[in-house]
Structure 1
Amino acid sequence: MLNYKNIIFDFGNVIAEYNEDYIFRQFCADAKDLPTMAQAILPTWPQLDYGSLDYQEVKEQAMQSVPSHLTEAVENFYDNWYRCLLPIKEIWSLIEELHNLRIPLYILSNAPTLFAAKADYYEITKKFTGILFSAPLKMGKPNPDFYRYLFDTYSLIPEECFFIDDRSDNIMAGRSLGMDGIVFSGDVQAVRRAIGLP
């Protein structure tokens, strides 16, 4: 018997590994150019996550800010980075198991509009009852309003939910509203114990 009726997952570094160095290397042919690309892209990423900047405008500004030989690489990054997250296979297996047990599953994740539009690139998303990404809603973790939006949208009782996220501040925000959770650091067995699976 599971300890909770609903299980909530973050995406990056829970369902799939978000490794900036690995992702940049998929688009940058010369390692010497990696710092330049990172400087053009990373400073605005939090605003993209929160939907406070327009994705296309940020992309164009970044393309203009780099030397000409990197323009195409930067464009390619903005168009295709969402393909480069590495599945965390043990979590995928857990999601499959919970889905087969008919446990409602949800994603609550900070991510730019492009990822929100393309997340179904990852087949595992079909197993989820509901998916919320931050940028389209212009709110994100750890803002309590984002959590309340999840609860209200899907008629969830916080005390019946369990949240898996890689950041302690996001877990604490959920707990402040009554939703228990665990900081995921790669230990899937700890997650299983917390939710009541052997």
Structure 2
Amino acid sequence: MKYKNIVFDFGNVIGRFDGKAILSEFCPYEEELDDLSEIVYKRWAELDAGTLDYDSYINEVIDQVPEHLKDCIRRFAKEWPRCTTLLPDTITFIHKLKERNIPIYLLSNAPTYFAEYYEGSELLSHFDGILFSGPIRLAKPSPEIYSHFLRKFDLKAEECFFIDDLEPNINAAKEAGMGGLVFTGDINEVKKAIGF
């Protein structure tokens, strides 16, 4: 294999993150989903960066929506992390990497609430190191999060291969000295890139 360590993003690499589809699990009013999505996700990047308090954000959203949607938002706030459907090919690949004793890491933008929700989960128990953006108040593609990640786990950039669904995040990883690939859902493309 060309790399010693494989680093995964979470959203749309390990689990599918489709904001509107997730909201639809809690809001039965299909005709209102577009407007609701705009309100709910308007400041999501701030949650990922850890610069916006989660409870304050939820209260802000609740204040902005009509009365009949307020309970939908309350349920969404508590339960949305369970709606990130795991991608089977990636999960199988993770297990195969671990069978070969290849170190795997997680580097993902996510609110602190999501990080806490998955803390101690069976899925994340397979990882040798986990870094979510919210708790450390740094988010991709900021160069600082990559240097923080490498320092935290004592890794050499050139020995790491990063899989993320967003090109700016991969470009930033490459700037930091890591290998990387924009994930399109084809795990065979990843295997080819790392020589697995």
Which category describes the TM-score, using the shorter chain as reference length? over 0.9
Name the aligned partner's letter for residue 164 of structure 2.
D
Tell me if 1:164 matches 2:158: no
Deviation at 1:159, TM superposition (A): 0.3
Tell me if 1:123 matches 2:122: yes
Q: Is the 8 A contact 1:49 1:140 kept in 2?
A: yes
In 2, distance between residues paired with 1:51 and 1:69?
A: 29
Name the aligned partner's letter for residue 46 of structure 2.
Q
In 2, distance between residues paired with 1:148 and 1:164?
A: 17
Q: Match of 2:29?
A: 30
Q: Is the 8 A contact 1:28 1:34 kept in 2?
A: yes
Within 5 Å, which residues of 2 pair with 1:19-58?
19-58=18-57
In 1, distance between residues paired with 2:187 and 2:119?
A: 23
Q: Is the 8 A contact 1:37 1:74 kept in 2?
A: no
Identity over aligned pairs, percent: 40
In 1, distance between residues paired with 2:158 and 2:113?
A: 32
* Structure 2: gaps spanning 5 or more residues: none
In 1, distance between residues paired with 2:195 and 2:121?
A: 27
Q: Match of 2:86?
A: 87
Deviation at 1:126, TM superposition (A): 1.2
Q: Is the 8 A contact 2:20 2:37 kept in 1?
A: no
Name the aligned partner's letter for residue 152 of structure 1.
R
In 1, distance between residues paired with 2:39 and 2:19?
A: 13
The number of equivalent residue pairs is 196
Q: Deviation string for 1:37-74 (max 9, x for gaps)?
A: 21321111111111111000010111111111111101
Q: Match of 1:135?
A: 134
Name the aligned partner's letter for residue 148 of structure 2.
Y
- Secondary structure of the 2:150 match is helix
Q: Is the 8 A contact 1:110 1:133 kept in 2?
A: yes
In 2, distance between residues paired with 1:156 and 1:134?
A: 18
Deviation at 1:143, TM superposition (A): 0.6
Tell me if 1:193 matches 2:160: no
Q: Deviation string for 1:120-167 (max 9, x for gaps)?
A: 485321110111010111101011110111100110000000000001
Deviation at 1:192, TM superposition (A): 0.5
Q: Match of 2:6?
A: 7
Q: TM-score, normalised by structure 2?
A: 0.96
* Structure 1: gaps spanning 5 or more residues: none
Q: TM-score, normalised by structure 1?
A: 0.96
Name the aligned partner's letter for residue 109 of structure 1.
S
Q: Is the 8 A contact 2:108 2:131 kept in 1?
A: yes
Q: Deviation string for 1:13-47 (max 9, x for gaps)?
A: 00011012210110001112213321321111111
In 2, distance between residues paired with 1:99 and 1:58?
A: 38
Q: Match of 1:114?
A: 113
Moved more, 30-39 or 7-16: 30-39
Moved more, 181-190 or 121-130: 121-130
- Secondary structure of the 2:42 match is helix
Deviation at 1:12, TM superposition (A): 0.1
Q: Deviation string for 1:155-196 (max 9, x for gaps)?
A: 000000000000111111111111011110011101001111
Q: Is the 8 A contact 1:36 1:66 kept in 2?
A: no
